[in-house]
Amino acid sequence: MAQREDSSDQSQLDGMPRLGLGTWENTDAGTCADSVRQALEMGYRHIDTAQAYDNEAHVGEGIAQADVDREEVFLATKIWTSNLSYDDVIHTAKESLDKLGVDYVDLLYVHWPANEYNPEDTLPAFDQLYDDGLVENVGVSNFEPRHLDEAQEVLDAPVFANQVEMHPLLPQDELVEYGRENDVNLVAYSPLARGKVFDVPEIQQVAEKHDASEAQVSLAWLLQRDGVAAIPKASSEAHIRDNWGARGLELDAEDVEKIESIETRERQVDPDFAPWN
């Protein structure tokens, strides 16, 4: 079972760097490979992709181009909902490794508990890939506590992380608490609320106080939460660098109180098949 309390390195959670690079909608081959290479050369060591993003080959290209060893990179991908039968998980995970140009991924997620997802059929395939060393950690995404309980019962491997939408407009307190109690790391996706946090007055005020960007404030708030990592997507070098700067921003109790006083609740990623719909 994961022992994150033992780790004194605040930049990581059980070996997963807390600030990573997201790549959804970064589908142009050159732009995607460049952003992954630039991020790695800047110091990022966590890259997030998915079968559904249609860019695994470009992400792999960026990793190959960067002057960083593959072993130093924490690489995560996700199995799409139509590939969640036992045989399809095994088969398409291997296709993803081929596209990425790697022998293993550090984290393989179930992208959504939807469509072909059936815990008794899907999860044993994740255990198999874990036992075979093709997957270092098993994760889930968009899971609610009831799905997490069920997954923990079926899987032999620990549930390493749950990747969910999380930002100051969607703090996900229940899942943060669940993660703490059950040693499941949380990975915050859309951590900038896809740009929506930039217009929130409380975020703007904290940004102004620290001479920081709104993106940095949102990310710093997430990174100060126990057991939380964040994977902002950025395709330009300026944004990639700005987000990296969040690691140096320390919010005080007054800032955190101000951010947590925001009452607006907004979800950016809300497909019909989501378990909450």
CB nearer to ligand NAP: pick between 7 and 123: 123
Q: How far apart are the first and last CA of the chain?
A: 32
Angle, alpha carbons 259-265-267 (nearest 5°):
115
Binding-site string for ligand NAP from residue 24 to residue 43, where x marks contact by CB under 6 A and - marks none = x-------------------
Within 250-269, the residues that bind ligand NAP by CB under 6 A are 269
Least Å from the CB of residue 170 to ligand NAP: 11
Using the rule CB under 6 A, which residue among 70, 180, 209, 239 binds ligand NAP?
A: 239
Least Å from the CB of residue 254 to ligand NAP: 23
Least Å from the CB of residue 140 to ligand NAP: 10
235 binds ligand NAP (CB under 6 A): yes
Question: Is-catalytic flag, 53?
Answer: yes
Using the rule CB under 6 A, which residue among 48, 56, 106, 255 binds ligand NAP?
A: 48
Least Å from the CB of residue 227 to ligand NAP: 17
CA dist 96 and 55 (Å) reads 10
Shortest CA distance to 147 belongs to which of 267, 274, 14, 24? Answer: 274
User: Under rule CB under 6 A, how many of the chain's residues touch ligand NAP?
Assistant: 27
Could you count the other beta carbons within 10 Å of the beta carbon of residue 180? 14
Within 128-167, the residues that bind ligand NAP by CB under 6 A are 141-142, 163
Query: Residue 77: what residue type?
Result: T
Judged by DSSP in three states, 233 sits in strand
Shortest CA distance to 159 belongs to which of 124, 128, 183? Answer: 183
Least Å from the CB of residue 5 to ligand NAP: 26
Determine the residue with CB nearest ligand NAP. Answer: 22
Shortest CA distance to 107 belongs to which of 16, 45, 184? Answer: 16
Within 53-92, the residues that bind ligand NAP by CB under 6 A are none
Judged by DSSP in three states, 139 sits in strand
User: Residues near 22 by Cβ (< 8 Å), separated by ≥ 6?
Assistant: 48, 189, 231, 232, 233, 234
247 binds ligand NAP (CB under 6 A): no
CA dist 158 and 136 (Å) reads 11
Using the rule CB under 6 A, which residue among 4, 70, 180, 194 binds ligand NAP?
A: 194
Task: Summarize as ranges the residues that interact with ligand NAP (CB under 6 A).
Answer: 22-24, 48, 111, 141-142, 163, 189-195, 213, 215, 231-236, 239, 242-243, 269
Just list the catalytic residues.
Answer: 53
